[in-house]
Amino acid sequence: MRLSIPALAKKAREGEKIAMLTCYDASFAATMEAAGVDVLLVGDSLGMVVQGHDSTLPVTLEQLVYHTRCTARGSQQALLIGDLPFGSYQASAEQAYRSSAEVMAAGAQMVKLEGGDWLLPTVEFLTRRGIPVCGHLGLQPQSVHQLGGYRVQGKTPEAAQQMQKDAQALVDAGIGLLVLEAIPATLATQLTQAISVPTIGIGAGPGCSGQVLVIHDMLGIYPGKSARFVRNFMLGASSIQGAIEAYVKAVKSGEFPAPEHCF
């Protein structure tokens, strides 16, 4: 039986940490489920780790739909979330609906969008039409050029206050989950305690309801310098499934992220 959005929220309310990983194909989907991963995210991160681009921006909706279909074929239990790629939802709520409908038809149970208060009409439009939405605040890779690079967000009191306002507004508009990326751990904890939906951190400290990493990062197979919030779980593991099981165990126990992975 597939994990539902209400069941995921129940886990968070009861204090069970949520383990999420990115996934782009059927084989990894089955392996992750066997290792106990709760949520699979078909992320536009595929643009970097699969396609070899230097950002997520070149990923198309057609490509994201393809990888969602692949992942869904290997998945029976985990909640499956599909990213909406750059340019597939920013123009209007109607555009976002059309894109979301394609991703949902490919097998996703939820779509993820990046952005704050400007997204509120879109989130409301989608959720009123039966499309569950996961928000994304903090470092937003689709806005990397506007942000001036992959930098920690929410460091000033003003930025932190705006993020708190955006988080609550997104919840009020209907999101069922919120990803927090590359923000101070104290801010992430405050946000998690303040809002009524689960939070998933990536470089946001242990105070979130759960954690997510890009699968290539946590297996240590992405070239180049890894981000501070990444841990290579292949170290000491005898197999890929063993490494994923170690990740799930570390997330569930609160061992990961450790202080060295936080901002």
The strand ranges marked E within the chain are 18-22, 39-42, 79-83, 110-112, 133-138, 177-181, 199-202, 210-213
Tell me the one-letter amino acid at 251.
V
Tell me the one-letter amino acid at 253.
S
- Our answer to whether residue 181 is catalytic in this structure is yes
Q: How far does the chain reach from its first CA to its final CA, in angstroms? A: 37
d(CA 135, CA 137): 7
Identify which of 200, 204, 230, 235 has the alpha carbon closest to the alpha carbon of residue 217. Answer: 230
The single residue of 181, 245, 255, 260 carrying the catalytic annotation is 181
Q: Which residues are catalytic?
A: 181
